[in-house]
Amino acid sequence: MAAHAQQGDTAPHTPTLPAVEVLDSTEAQQRFDSAASHSSMAVDGFTATTPLVHLSEVLAGQPGVVATDRGNYAQDLQIAVRGFGSRSTFGVRGVRVVVDGIPASMPDGQGQAATAHLPTASQVEVLRGPFAQRYGNAAGGVVQVTTRDPRPGGGAQVGLGLGSFGQRLAEASFDFGDQRLAGLVGVSHFDTEGWRDHSAARRTHLNTKVVAQTGARTRITGLVNLYDQPLALDPLGLTRAQFAANPRQAVAATAAFGTRKAVGQNQLGLVVDHQLSDTDTLQLRAYGGTRQLTQFLGFSGEAANSSGGVVDLDRAYHGAAASWTRSVRRASGLPLTLTAGLEAHRLAEHRRGFVNNAGASGAVRRDEHDSASNTDAFAQVDAWLTPRWRAMAGVRTSQVRVGIDDRHVTPSNPDDSGSRTWRHTSPTAGLVWSASEHLNVYANAGRGFETPTLSEMAYGLDNSGPNYGLSAARSRQWELGAKWRKGGHEVDMAWFDTRSQGEIVPVATVNGRSVFQNVDNVRRRGLELAWRASMGTWSPRASYTYLDARFGDAFTGAGGAAIAAGNRLPGTARHTAQLALDYAPTPQWRLGAIVHASSAVFANDLNSQQAPGFAVWGLHAAYRVGSAQATGAHTTRWQLWARLDNVFNKHYAGTLIVNDGNGRFFEPAAGRRIIVGVRAQFL
């Protein structure tokens, strides 16, 4: 996330699009002194007691954040921050995902989290609240993953894991080079038969980072990320009756239409950090990639004016960003940091749709070339006003454009070509008061926006083609918070309030596809609490989120349903909490337990269907075989690890497909499951 100047620190800082590599005391102090709700979770690919397959493994228990594994690899994770993103039925919307400074969210706001390679990550960060708006479109929150730097002197690591329901994991990484030129190559393979019927998946992931220190002032980082998921069967959601009768079943449509998805994505990135002077730094970023996707949906799509039941997507995307930062000391001796920059991101995709003939592609029903782009400019100032008061302010202006070039024109399917452009300016401001050495109190406010994705604006009412009239949602946010650090204890608290106009919600389902509309006066407000401590061999932590997310006005929803003012936003729980305890009785052993609880969640705008609340337990353990076995100048370490999730085999809905037109809202969470693994590290 953004690194902010702290009092007494004269080093240059890059508050926007940073490359944060190591979680150290300086960065912890910067987060403590910042006027924002910001969490950082260290990731260690060797000591972790999880398979590191999903971001949900790391994000679980963060205040204000809901990150859930759907148990459905055809739809990716569901991530929501303070209620933003809860409407997503696939992928990530309303929340920006950034990996090594490269957006995993496209210009239209649609993103995916699967391409973050956690075995080679060093940390995962979450920025919540108004200051997330500095990242532009659909930044109700920001999740950033950072790949670790290559280890000095090189090394290697391998790992294997086996678990319930056919889970198999293999991973390896290799570090090489010296201080001038070093590299990291990591590869992992995961496959599973799935807990539910028709939910098997297989994927392979490669992540490479090469760092060149070309001089005392210049660092160049090259990034390669290759992701291949040739198989992901889609079990679809269940109705309430099906969920109660047998949560492991897949509905009949999965066999009738061969529901599944295959994805391949390849991406290159380049980052240049150059120190222009003792006070000025310049950062340049560029990236490009391709994504191929084929998905068989749970209906035929054979109607002449349908878009088909098979999606075939071929996408190319690229972007660049430049930021300049000046960090100086004023005559008073207090630091001041200025940042300004530009960003441009583009995607072009060839999207086709075919009739789904019992799991095989049939006649063409859609053929179009889509595009999306955004061009943004931003500026920010960060200044200590006195030794106890710090102010931060910024502004970002954005232009987002989407276009559709329809190539499938028939008497029943007229030319739907067109375009739409949205412009928005997002100001933010915050203030921090250092009440004492251990306590900071802060307040901030800002405005943001979220455009409809290409998928959300693809269909209009009465088969009228794309919904070019769909507007961007606009939000006003503020928060008050406090951060306390003393004696190994950390406490964070924040009260937030967000009001949105033009919220994007469904209005109908046409030929199996959702049609969206804008509604006003949507409110999200709540409280976040987090505590963690280090007490000798014990490391407890706890978090709690209260979220009141509701529609302020009545409106007409899908199927003509009357949505009452005061109805809850679907997909949001009013209460979520997590309590975890880790225990390290010896340097070799680590033991832990965790309980996660959630109140009931509504499945639709009408609030006529809901998933009951739940509490689930998990256990984990790790044993390091010999703390360090030296062989000549080298060190070999081994770690055995195991985890047992859903200890009491709780039957509950892990996620919901909100506002599903078929009433199949429920995606059951897996039952009791165990996974064990071993990792070896050679340094």
The pLDDT tens digits of the residues spanning 527-585 come to 999 999 999 999 999 999 999 999 999 999 888 899 999 999 999 999 999 999 999 99
Q: How far apart are the first and last CA of the chain?
A: 30
Which tokens is 605 given? Answer: 């705008």
Tell me which residue of 445, 323, 450, 422 sits closest to 379, measured CA to CA.
Answer: 323
Question: What's residue 17's pLDDT?
Answer: 36
CA dihedral 609→610→612→617, nearest 10 degrees, is 140
Question: What's residue 501's pLDDT?
Answer: 96
Question: What's residue 512's pLDDT?
Answer: 63
Question: What's residue 25's pLDDT?
Answer: 57
H or E stretch covering 389: strand 389-406
Q: What average pLDDT does range 206-226 have in this prediction?
A: 96
Supply the mean pLDDT for the chain.
Answer: 91
% of residues, the chain, pLDDT over 70 = 93
Which tokens is 57 given? Answer: 């493994």
Residues 6+ apart with CB under 8 A from 388: 433, 434, 435
- Strand-pairing partners, residue 158, are 172, 680
| 281-285, 461-465, 536-540, 658-662: least confident range | 461-465
Q: Is the pLDDT of residue 82 over 60?
A: yes
Q: What average pLDDT does range 156-169 have in this prediction?
A: 97
Determine the Cα–Cα distance for residues 479 and 432; give it in Å rounded to an integer: 12
Which tokens is 117 given? Answer: 């390679």
Domain residue limits, the chain:
25-181+193-209+253-329+336-682
Residue 16's pLDDT band (cuts 50, 70, 90) = very low
Question: What's residue 2's pLDDT?
Answer: 39
Determine the Cα–Cα distance for residues 642 and 160; give it in Å rounded to an integer: 12
Q: Is the pLDDT of residue 410 over 60?
A: yes
Residues 6+ apart with CB under 8 A from 234: 72, 74, 75, 198, 199, 254, 259, 260, 261, 295, 296, 298
H or E stretch covering 625: strand 614-631
Q: Is the pLDDT of residue 498 over 60?
A: yes
Compute the Cα dihedral for 610, 493, 447, 32 and give only its sign. Answer: negative
Residues 6+ apart with CB under 8 A from 560: none
CATH topology of domain 25-181+193-209+253-329+336-682: Maltoporin; Chain A (2.40.170)
Cα angle 374-379-380, degrees, rounded to a multiple of 5: 135
Which tokens is 258 given? Answer: 């061969």
| Backbone phi and psi for residue 257, each to the nearest 5 degrees, phi listed first | -120, 5
CA distances (Å), origin 643, targets 50, 58, 192, 509, 620: 7, 14, 17, 42, 4
Q: Is the pLDDT of residue 22 over 70?
A: no
Q: What average pLDDT does range 11-16 have in this prediction?
A: 36
Determine the Cα–Cα distance for residues 35 and 443; give it in Å rounded to an integer: 6
Question: What's residue 511's pLDDT?
Answer: 62
User: In 155-252, which ranges are E strands?
Assistant: 155-163, 167-177, 181-192, 201-213, 218-233
| Backbone phi and psi for residue 135, each to the nearest 5 degrees, phi listed first | -95, 5
pLDDT tens-digit profile of 332-360? 889 999 999 999 999 999 999 999 999 99
SS3 611: strand
Determine the Cα–Cα distance for residues 90 and 72; give it in Å rounded to an integer: 10
Q: Is the pLDDT of residue 507 over 90?
A: no
Residue 306's pLDDT band (cuts 50, 70, 90) = confident
pLDDT tens-digit profile of 87-98? 888 889 999 999
Question: What's residue 404's pLDDT?
Answer: 95
Tell me which residue of 312, 262, 253 sits closest to 74, measured CA to CA.
Answer: 262
Q: Is the pLDDT of residue 664 over 90?
A: yes
Question: What's residue 114's pLDDT?
Answer: 86
Question: What's residue 460's pLDDT?
Answer: 81
Question: What's residue 28's pLDDT?
Answer: 66
User: Is the model's pTM score more than 0.75?
Assistant: yes
| Contact predicate 551/537, CB 8 Å | no
Q: What average pLDDT does range 221-227 have in this prediction?
A: 97
SS3 243: helix
- Strand-pairing partners, residue 638, are 625, 680
Residues 6+ apart with CB under 8 A from 332: none
Residue 20's pLDDT band (cuts 50, 70, 90) = very low
Residue 661's pLDDT band (cuts 50, 70, 90) = confident
Residue 683's pLDDT band (cuts 50, 70, 90) = confident
* CB count in 10 Å sphere of residue 300: 21
Determine the Cα–Cα distance for residues 356 and 204; give it in Å rounded to an integer: 27
SS3 207: strand
Question: What's residue 637's pLDDT?
Answer: 93
Which tokens is 455 given? Answer: 């998928």
pLDDT tens-digit profile of 174-192? 999 998 999 999 999 999 9
Q: What average pLDDT does range 660-678 have in this prediction?
A: 94
Cα angle 603-608-609, degrees, rounded to a multiple of 5: 40
* CB count in 10 Å sphere of residue 613: 15
Q: Is the pLDDT of residue 5 over 90?
A: no
| Contact predicate 64/577, CB 8 Å | no
Question: What's residue 26's pLDDT?
Answer: 62
Q: Is the pLDDT of residue 506 over 90?
A: no
Residues 6+ apart with CB under 8 A from 458: 307, 466, 467, 513
What is the pairing mode between strands 141-147 and 96-99? parallel
Compute the Cα dihedral for 630, 636, 640, 641 and give only its sign. Answer: positive
DSSP state of 669: P
Please identify which residue in the block is written with the tokens 């940091």: 337
Determine the Cα–Cα distance for residues 465 and 414; give it in Å rounded to an integer: 8
Tell me which residue of 312, 310, 222 sits closest to 271, measured CA to CA.
Answer: 222
Tell me which residue of 93, 87, 67 sits closest to 79, measured CA to CA.
Answer: 67
pLDDT tens-digit profile of 580-620? 999 999 999 999 999 999 999 999 999 999 999 999 999 99
CA distances (Å), origin 616, targets 175, 306, 580, 645: 38, 42, 12, 8
% of residues, the chain, pLDDT over 90 = 82
